Structure 1
Amino acid sequence: MVSEKWIICPTCHGKTRLKILEATELKNFPLFCPKCKTRTLINVKKFQISIIMEPDAKTQSR
């Protein structure tokens, strides 16, 4: 039997529309939450989800 889990939104902790398998690996994946309407960049490896913190546009210099 293949094990699968829902991806949970890191902002509101609601269930998103995506399921992942244990062997799923994602890098720089733009996760959209339909409940809180936020977009978060995540990495996924063996059900471990890590959030990628984007730099704030106001703090970047040219």
Structure 2
Amino acid sequence: MQQEQWVLCPICNSKTRLRIREDTELKNFPLYCPKCRQEKLINVKKFNILVIIEPDAQTQSR
């Protein structure tokens, strides 16, 4: 039997609507949290969740 876990929000640590199994792999997945209403990009491999931090847009200088 495969082990399953809930994916927790990296901001507020509450459960999201997503469950993953041990063999689940996600790349650049947009994870939405219904509690804090935030969305983050994550990578998942063997229950290891890595939050992808995107650089902010910079203004162009002339």
TM (norm. structure 1) is: 0.92
CA offset at residue 55 of structure 1? Answer: 1.1
Mind listing any 5+ residue stretches in structure 1 that lack a counterpart?
none
- Distance (whole Å) between structure 2 residues aligned to residue 60 and residue 40 of structure 1: 23
Name the one with the larger helix percent: 1
CA offset at residue 49 of structure 1? Answer: 0.1
1:30 aligned partner:
30
Matches within 5 A, 1:35-50: 35-50=35-50
Mark the structure with the bigger radius of gyration. 2
TM (norm. structure 2) is: 0.92
Measured against aligned partners, the alpha-carbon deviations of 1:20-42 in whole angstroms (never above 9, x if no partner) come to 00000000000000000000000
Mind listing any 5+ residue stretches in structure 2 that lack a counterpart?
none
Identity %: 61
CA offset at residue 12 of structure 1? Answer: 0.5
